[in-house]
Homo-oligomer: A and B are copies of this chain.
Amino acid sequence: MKKLTIKDIAKEFNVSISTVSKALNDSYEISQATKDKIQKYAKENNYKPNFNALSLKNRSTKTIGVIMPTMLNYFFAQVFKGIEDAANKNGYKVITCISNQSHNKEAEIIEMLSNGSIDGFILSMAKETELKNDFKHFNETIENGTPIVMFDRVAHSIDCDKVIADDYNGALNTVEFLHKKGHKKIAFISTMSDLQIGKQRFLGYKKGLENVGLPFNDDLVVNILEKDYKKYEKK
């Protein structure tokens, strides 16, 4: 069964394609009788306006490009669920790609999607991008008129909207909270001490200790870096 087009419907009723188009869009120009029969026929035969034709015409794809550093991580999986859900509710689709923490892959993804596939990006930087401090691809994208919204692992120097957590005060408040509960030996364990968000948390942790008058003890700080836990991951 071939996909139905406006043209097919026009032929069916011996009217012009513009009549069909208007009827389907419930235009006031078209008589109720015509609209009724055309809409009925369209529904019965499962007509759906072609996505690419609409996107081409409207210069808008109603789809968002999402770039995730990884999905094998409960935080990012949750964020993805949230994005997908909100997008759908607002009539948007989501094209998702995984940078796998690689700067190169990230740039490639942006390149691949910068051809009218999407209306804009939502992304969290690859680790490598942050370490390299190389944001050229982001800047070019924005200059080319494709909006970017960054979350979690963001580059503050980029001029775009960002959604972040208050990592510094989060850690600080946690220390104060634990201290209030009577705890004296508060450890800091991080898997991302090399990233900005990790550093902020560490600074908040130290400041928290200072605030409550606890000594900072290097032995209570554990940094698990990727190279260490990577070996446990199947490739």
Instruction: Report A's interface with B, CB cutoff 8 A.
Output: 1-3, 46, 48-53, 55-56, 61, 63, 70-72, 74, 77-78, 80-81, 84-85, 88, 93-98, 109, 112-117, 140, 143-145
Q: Distance in Å from the Cβ of A62 to the closest Cβ of chain B?
A: 10
Which residues on the B side are within 8 Å of A51 (C-beta)? 115-117
Sample 28 A-B pairs with CB under 8 A, ordered by A number: A1-B144, A1-B145, A2-B145, A3-B144, A3-B145, A50-B56, A50-B115, A51-B115, A51-B116, A52-B52, A52-B53, A52-B56, A53-B56, A53-B116, A56-B56, A71-B71, A71-B77, A71-B80, A72-B74, A72-B78, A77-B77, A81-B98, A84-B97, A88-B109, A88-B112, A95-B95, A95-B96, A96-B96
Which B-chain residue is minimally distant from A57 (CB atoms)? B52
Which residues on the B side are within 8 Å of A63 (C-beta)? 95
Which B-chain residue is minimally distant from A70 (CB atoms)? B81
Residues of A contacting B: mostly: mixed
Which B-chain residue is minimally distant from A77 (CB atoms)? B71
Which residues on the B side are within 8 Å of A84 (C-beta)? 96-98
> Given A77-B71, A80-B71, A144-B3, A96–B98 Cβ distance below 8 Å?
no
Which residues on the B side are within 8 Å of A55 (C-beta)? 52
CA distance A113 to B3 in the complex (A): 13
Which B-chain residue is minimally distant from A58 (CB atoms)? B52
Which B-chain residue is minimally distant from A96 (CB atoms)? B96
CA distance A114 to B93 in the complex (A): 12
CA distance A70 to B140 in the complex (A): 34
